[in-house]
Amino acid sequence: MELFRVDKENPFKGPHQDQKIASGGVDLSDAKFAMIMIHGRGASAESIIGLGNEFERNDKITFMAPQASGFTWYPYSFLAPKEKNQPGLNSGLQAIADLIVEIEKEGISKENIFLLGFSQGACLVTEFVARHPGKYAGVIGLSGGLIGDKIDPSVYSGNLEGTPVFLGCSDIDSHIPKERVDETEAVYEKLGGKVTKNIYPGMGHLVNEDEIQHIQQLLNSKLKIQD
């Protein structure tokens, strides 16, 4: 089955288009970097924006988070067949693409855009980047992985050009099997990503301090280039 990819000439219209965008950090017009943040199931754009308060060096980066219609990007588990999660899945992928376009219009290129997601948001982020590879500032998947009942690495093509990728998850997460995180790592390495994967023994379905530190290191490595 051919994967849906965003087409600028024929954008997908679905439940998540024209939803509000939450923001934090510096104004987009003043920023050198941007981070697109995708919230989890039942959460809000404002809740994931709050994670930005955990990071230092916010003087150069804007945080932007689209809101899912009904607080859910797609109805079923990310392990369900992709067609069962339509039109929410394609609509969510389009929402990320729309935000990238908005950020690029302000002069911030993809290589200065981070994409971060937690839980359902991490699934959406990792799926988006795998379908639309390029050189990004960084990709951060917290308790999530590629979407579908099975993963066929051959359907993903392109080059991440050494984009740093951080994947963090518990080994006993009831929503996210460790095997899917491993499969996601393999696809990202095939696409040319520089992957760091941390599996945390016994952790719940949450973001821990070690993950925050890894994200901070990634931000520091990029933001210092502009100093």
What pLDDT, on a 0 to 100 scale, did the predictor assign at position 223? 84
- pLDDT tens track for 120-153: 999 999 999 999 999 999 999 999 999 999 999 9
Considering the entire predicted model, what is its pTM?
0.96
Q: What is the mean pLDDT of residues 178-199?
A: 98
pLDDT at 2 over 90: no
Q: How many CA atoms lie within 13 A of 34 on its CB side?
A: 24
What pLDDT, on a 0 to 100 scale, did the predictor assign at position 16? 98
pLDDT category, 204, cuts 50, 70, 90? confident
The tokens describing 72, both together, are 């859910």
Instruction: Find how far residue 64's CA is from the centre of its chain.
Output: 12
What pLDDT, on a 0 to 100 scale, did the predictor assign at position 224? 76
Q: Name the CATH superfamily, with its identifier, for domain 21-226.
A: Alpha/Beta hydrolase fold, catalytic domain (3.40.50.1820)
What pLDDT, on a 0 to 100 scale, did the predictor assign at position 1? 60
Spell out the domain ranges in the chain. Answer: 21-226
pLDDT at 227 over 70: no
What pLDDT, on a 0 to 100 scale, did the predictor assign at position 17? 97
- Contact in structure between 96 and 128 (CB atoms under 8 Å): yes
pLDDT category, 56, cuts 50, 70, 90? confident
- pLDDT tens track for 84-99: 999 999 999 999 999 9
Amino acid identity of residue 173, one-letter, is: D
pLDDT category, 225, cuts 50, 70, 90? low
Helix locations, the chain, DSSP H: 45-49, 88-105, 120-131, 178-190, 209-223
What pLDDT, on a 0 to 100 scale, did the predictor assign at position 113? 98
